[in-house]
Amino acid sequence: MTRTVRAKAPAKVNLQLTVGPVAEDGFHPLVTVFQAVDLFETVEATARTDGRITLTVDAAAGSPVDASGVPVDESNLAWRAAELVASSYGIADGVDLRIVKGVPVAGGMAGGSADAAAALVACAEAWDVGATRGELARLAARLGSDVPFSLHGHTAMGVGRGDQLTPVMSHGQFHWVVATQAEGLSTPRVYAEYDRRIAAREQVQNDLAVEAPVMTALMAGDPVALGRAVINDLEGPALSLMPRLEKVLDVAEEAEACAAMVSGSGPTVVALARSRQHALAIAAHLKAARVADAVLTATGPTAGTVLVQD
Ligand code: C5P
């Protein structure tokens, strides 16, 4: 009987996302600090002998994440991850993939990248290609800027496109509230709006340097200090494309979040809480204000992509 292999990969929040001027390849050099949080994508892989790839997508049981808009063809990053493993290791077999989504779709939390990371690990195992973690990390960088971090997990600084990682020391657990929107924001559009705002002087270009206060707050395990230190250069562009997100930030701030910010390229808004209890209180406040389509809580840092044993 063919065995089904399961891997799970975490979502991320960017505690620092500093964006440099667009380069000739169309990408922006970044200095970013990622934290993996415990919202997971699971990818199941079952090898098939006829060389075909199939894909289905479901929402995780009990999760408010809406999986209906996710493509189930070769445009899906998980599909491309399977193709990349097959071509890199000379695999002629196919695979049935099933994605079980627990991360907001097109939300700025790297759900699609988590699918790719989980598919890399699951396919490498299902086809028994004997890949090292380092080999998978190199394949991850070819699939997307955030895929290497989803593989790595924990806390890390990313430079280049955000794909060149260095681990960062962090103490304790941080409690987050995650407010999602049904309508997504396209990452390239948000970067294009960033370029427009810089050219129009609606936003200043920050130095591409790691923020020492972010590192210090992480090492101290101090959510209040971390809240003061977080910075996201894509927040302005995301807000100008979706102004109603201002209201989400205001409501989280009313509930005394240590920080409320757009996650990555948005439109998900994340709020940092002082404790688990405080996170539940902020979540209740956001739900009552009806400013988000779904409100979840999450904790970080958490491990990167791992195989899940039944
Ligand atoms: O690498 P990824 O596929 O996630 O990038 C999606 C898009 O986001 C890119 O095509 C590019 O427009 C933009 N991007 C960028 N600079 C980065 C990462 C992404 O401009 N460092």
pLDDT in tens, 85-138: 999 999 999 999 999 999 999 899 999 999 999 999 999 999 999 999 999 999
CATH of domain 174-300: 3.30.70.890
Active site residue 12: yes
The pLDDT value given to residue 1? 60
What pLDDT score was predicted for residue 56?
Answer: 98
Nearest Cα neighbor of 15 from 210, 185, 200, 163 is 210
Torsion angle defined by CA atoms of residues 120, 123, 126 and 128, in that order, rounded to the nearest 10 degrees = -70
Residue 8 is a catalytic residue: no
For residue 229, what pLDDT band results from cuts at 50, 70 and 90?
A: very high
Give start-end residues of each CATH 3.30.230.10 domain in the chain: 4-167
Predicted local confidence at residue 69, as pLDDT: 87
Q: Is 105 annotated as a binding residue?
A: yes
The segment(s) of the chain belonging to CATH 3.30.70.890 are 174-300
**In terms of C-beta density within 10 A (0-12 exposed, 13-18 middle, 19 or more buried), how is residue 290 classed?**
exposed
d(Cα 305, Cα 297) in Å, to the nearest integer? 20
Q: What are the pLDDT digits (tens) for 7-54? A: 999 999 999 999 999 999 999 999 999 999 999 999 999 999 999 999
CATH of domain 4-167: 3.30.230.10
Is 111 known as a binding-site position? yes
Taking CA atoms only, the protein residue closest to ligand 1 atom 14 is: 27
Distance 200 CA to ligand 1 centre (A): 21
Residue that has been written with the tokens 């964006």 in this structure: 19
Which residues on neighbouring strands pair with residue 306, listed in sequence order?
Answer: 8
Cα-trace Rg, the chain: 19
